[in-house]
Every structure is written in C-alpha cells, then in structure tokens.
Amino acid sequence: KGDADAGKKKFYTCTGCHGIAGYRNAYPDYPVPKLAGQNEGYIVNAMNAYKAGERKHPTMRAQAESLSEQDIADIAAFLSQAK
Amino acid sequence: KGDADAGKKKFYTCTGCHGIAGYRNAYPDYPVPKLAGQNEGYIVNAMNAYKAGERKHPTMRAQAESLSEQDIADIAAFLSQAK
C-alpha cells in the first residue's frame, strides 16, 4: 500500500516537469500530463509500463527504472490525493 | 482550436469508462485515467499516439480512429476545462 507522505518527498524531483497545479511548470510548452488527482492504479500501471519499456519516453523510462515498487506505490498514493 | 462545447457532446460516449469526477465509473476496478483538468496538449498527443498505434490500447485505438483532428481538439478543450 502506498504511503502518501513518503510519496510526496519522492515526487519532489518530478515536479520539475510535472508541476502540480500552482507550481510553475518547467516546460510550459512541453505537454506534460497533470498528475495531481490522477487515478492511483493508472499511475502505477503507467510507471510499470515505462519501466518495462511498453511506454516509450526516455526520461520517464529512466525515472521509472530508478524507482522501487514501494516508491511507485507511495508516489501514486500521494498524487491521487494531491489537489 | 478546440471548441469545448462541441467537445462535451463528443465526449459523451467516453464517459462510460472515463467517468468525470462525480460520474459513476463503469469500470471501477479498471484503472482508467481521470481526464478532467488534464493538460490539453497532452490529450491531443495521447489521442494521436493511439491513432498512430504508438500507444497500444485496443479500445482507445478504435476510439481515436473514429475521431477527426477537430473532434480531438474539441474534446481536449472540453476536458482541460472540466472539473
């Protein structure tokens, strides 16, 4: 089960692109998905797809590979509650 | 440019899976992404990726193939404003 508090810390690096509502998005012209409030299971599936190379995004694949199953669960728990 | 009102009508069929917050999601256990409030450009890119087969989801590919560029722009405009 994901721990949202731990997830918040682990998500810090990701805010560079995935600016949560109110954060300045580092790549305004790059259409990055908004993740705050996203479906928890969808996030876990998407991260595992990046990890397995089923979803093809170099940066995301590298990020996903650096995260454990628990990290991903924590981040998904945090994001699904983020506003 | 997308027309959100037209997009709302065109999105009606999609609510079966992508229940907007408050709608009962037809597949509660199926981790479908929440689209309300999603980044407009991201939605357009995702739909084109389904259309081109770069993103592999049978239902989504079929849906994307049935939509014109204008349909996709309208739906993206609607979703990015939906609460």
Q: Which chain A residues are Cβ-neighbours of B32 within 8 angstroms? A: 39, 42
Rounded CA-CA distance B54/B58 in Å is 12
Confidence band, pLDDT 50/70/90 cuts, at residue A25: very low
Point out the residue among B31, B32, B41 whose CB comes nearest to the CB of A31.
Answer: B41
Write the pLDDT tens digit of every residue in B16-48: 788 755 444 445 456 788 898 899 999 999 999
Q: Percent of chain A scored above 90 by pLDDT?
A: 55
Q: Please tell me which residue, A1 or B79, carries the higher pLDDT value.
A: B79
pLDDT of A40 over the 80 cut: yes
pLDDT of B62 over the 50 cut: yes
pLDDT of residue A6: 96
pLDDT of A30 over the 70 cut: no
pLDDT of residue B30: 63
How many Å is the Cα radius of gyration of chain B? Answer: 12
Q: Which chain B residues are Cβ-neighbours of A55 within 8 angstroms? A: 55
Contact A39 B33 (CB under 8 A): yes
The type of residue at B62 is: A
Rounded CA-CA distance A17/A5 in Å is 20
The answer as to CATH 1.10.260.40 being correct for domain A4-81 is no
The domain segmentation of chain A, as residue ranges, is: 4-81
Helix axes B40-51, B69-81, angle to 10 degrees: 140
Q: Cα–Cα distances in Å, from A17 out to A13, A30, A48?
A: 9, 9, 19
pLDDT of residue B50: 94
Section A12-20 average pLDDT: 79
DSSP B68: -
Q: Cα–Cα distances in Å, from B79 out to A34, A47, B9, B25?
A: 12, 23, 11, 16
Section A44-63 average pLDDT: 91
Q: Please tell me which residue, B10 or A21, carries the higher pLDDT value.
A: B10
pLDDT of B1 over the 50 cut: yes
ipTM for the complex shown:
0.71
Q: Closest approach of chain A CAs to the CA of B25, in angstroms?
A: 11
- Give the length of chain B: 83
